[in-house]
Every structure is written in C-alpha cells, then in structure tokens.
Amino acid sequence: MQSQVGNQAVVTGLRVHTIRGYSLLTPYGLICLIGLFNLFGLAGQAAPQAPGTQSGARRLGFEEALRIVSGEDEGNLARQAGRFTRTRLRDGRIVEIFYPLIANGRSPRNRVPGYGLLYPSADSLAEANRPRHMLEELLPDGRIFLEQIPQLILRLERRLHLAPGRLELTRSGLRRVDIYLRNHHASHTTAQTDSRLFQELTAFYGETLRRSLMGEWKIDEERVTASHRQTEPNLLVGNGRTIKPWSSVIRVLYDEDNRGSGLTRSFDTETGN
C-alpha cells in the first residue's frame, strides 16, 4: 500500500533510507524512499531536493529565502505555519521555505536548520515533484545496460583488484563480492548512492543468475507517469517467471534491514538452494 504526497510516499513493505523521494516496483511491492522531513511530521511537503537536480531548483540559505519572499504574499500556494511555505513570486518563480525544526527536546544537536528552494517556474516545480522510478538515476537506460554487461563485469573485477576473467560467474564469485560489500558497508551509508557500483553489481549478479537458471535478459517498460516509462533490465527464467536482479542489488546496498545479507543469500533464494 502506498500514499503519495508530493515527492514523498508513505509505504509498507521495506524500509529504505533517504534518496530524495524515489520509488521503485519490486516483487515486495512499492518501495519508497522518504525524505528526512517526514521524520518531523511534515507530510504534505515535497521532499527536500539537492542542488543540481533535474528540476533545476537552487538551494538557498534560510535568510536568503526569507529576503526573496519579502514583500511577496508568502505562502500563497501552500502554508504550514512555522514549518513550510510555498510562494509564487510575481515574476513566476516559486520559492519553498523549510523553517528550522527542533525534534526530541530543545538540544541544538536536534535542530534541523531551515533552508529554501528556488524553482525557475511552475513547470520545474512539477518536474521536481513527479513520481520517479529508482532506476532513473542508478540505471537510466536498460537497453544500453544490457549491451555493456561484459564491460561492467570487467570493471567490477578491476574494483576487486582481480585480473580479467578471475571473478567466476558462480555462487563462489558472489561470495567474493559479498566480502567486498562488507568492507564497503563499513565506510558508506545507505544514503550514499553510486551508479557505477550499482550497475557493475547488477551486471554480475544478473548474469550469474541467468547462467545458473538458464534464463535470458529482457527489457520491461514500467509506466511511472503518463509521459514517462522506465526501462528495466530483467531476467526471464523457467515457467515464464520474471526476476529483477537490480531489485536485489538495491536491497543489499540501500535497505537498512537487508544491506548486510549479501548477494549470495539473494542468489540462494532465487535459485532454490
């Protein structure tokens, strides 16, 4: 079950740390990644966007944002007193202001500083708030990905300091990758995404599954909005079953409850070992 609110969603199924409100469809249902401000009861606001996102929004300091809306009808589009305003300026730009928050007492350590987001137009705001598939940034084009699988596996071997061809496309190879991932998890959080690593792992894990199950790669198109479809590189195996290797990689890398489980366990589940 999901409830979509702006660029956020309230979800059941799997708990994942923040990656700017993206969502994806997996066999476990819709996984949604919820912005930090949901933790403070700000349902109804768009999740915070990082500078340089597709929307073209510019992040502002809190005082700068207040100066921009000075003399304007602040909150003429949306308002939550003392928490959030969305204002259309007279020149057509839109400013969102997230007011400072203090949670769990009044300690400065629990303070979330305020800030603003400046959108060039209403269209850029709509783009920022539209639903997004998780693969949109991690693996934008499934067809190109399939063409690059051999090169991606070679890249993973270099990452693991192995000679070409030394990383076997077997369960033993997956165990070797899991050792690398344990070290990776020790120095990275679930909020730190790396599209290169993600694609390398998806290529290796997916190809290992394909060979074990004698399946074949295929491209599925997932409808995200009326105007956007995301290409998913999936596997077709016996009895017409579809496996989404990228979904397992996401759980291992970015799901707090499963990131330590490793790809070997996912492989065993999929192959019935």
Collect contacts of 77-86 with beta carbons under 8 A, ≥24 apart. Answer: 78/44, 78/45, 80/42, 80/44, 80/45, 83/42, 83/45, 84/42, 84/45
CA dihedral over 74, 78, 81, 84, signed as positive or negative: negative
Spatial neighbors of 110 by CB under 8 A, at least 6 apart, are: 102, 103, 104
**Each residue's pLDDT tens digit, 11-36:** 223 333 333 333 333 333 333 332 33
Strands 84-88 and 94-98: antiparallel
Report the CATH architecture of 135-271.
Up-down Bundle (1.20)
Tell me, what DSSP letter sits at residue 139?
S
Question: What is the pLDDT, as a whole number, of residue 164?
Answer: 95
Place of tokens 């709509």: 126
Question: What is the pLDDT, as a whole number, of residue 191?
Answer: 76
Tokens of residue 127, six digits: 């783009």
Question: What is the pLDDT, as a whole number, of residue 24?
Answer: 39
Closest by Cα among 129, 25, 42, 123 to 79: 42
Task: Indicate the Cα dihedral angle 204, 205, 207, 209, nearest 10°.
Answer: 160
Question: What is the pLDDT, as a whole number, of residue 151?
Answer: 98
**What angle, rounded to 10 degrees, do the helices at 263-271 and 195-213 form?**
30
Question: What is the pLDDT, as a whole number, of residue 170?
Answer: 97
Between CA 94 and CA 89 the distance in angstroms is 6
pTM of the predicted model as reported, rounded to 2 decimal places: 0.64
Strands 8-11 and 2-5: antiparallel
pLDDT beneath 50: ranges in the chain: 1-54
Question: What is the pLDDT, as a whole number, of residue 190?
Answer: 80
How far the first Cα of the chain sits from its last, in Å, is 31
Spatial neighbors of 247 by CB under 8 A, at least 6 apart, are: 24, 26, 27
Spatial neighbors of 227 by CB under 8 A, at least 6 apart, are: none
Q: Note whether 114 and 60 are within 8 A (CB).
A: no
Domain borders along the chain are 2-129, 135-271
Residue 223: exposure state from Cβ atoms within 10 A (0-12, 13-18, ≥19): exposed
Residue 184: exposure state from Cβ atoms within 10 A (0-12, 13-18, ≥19): middle
Between CA 252 and CA 263 the distance in angstroms is 7
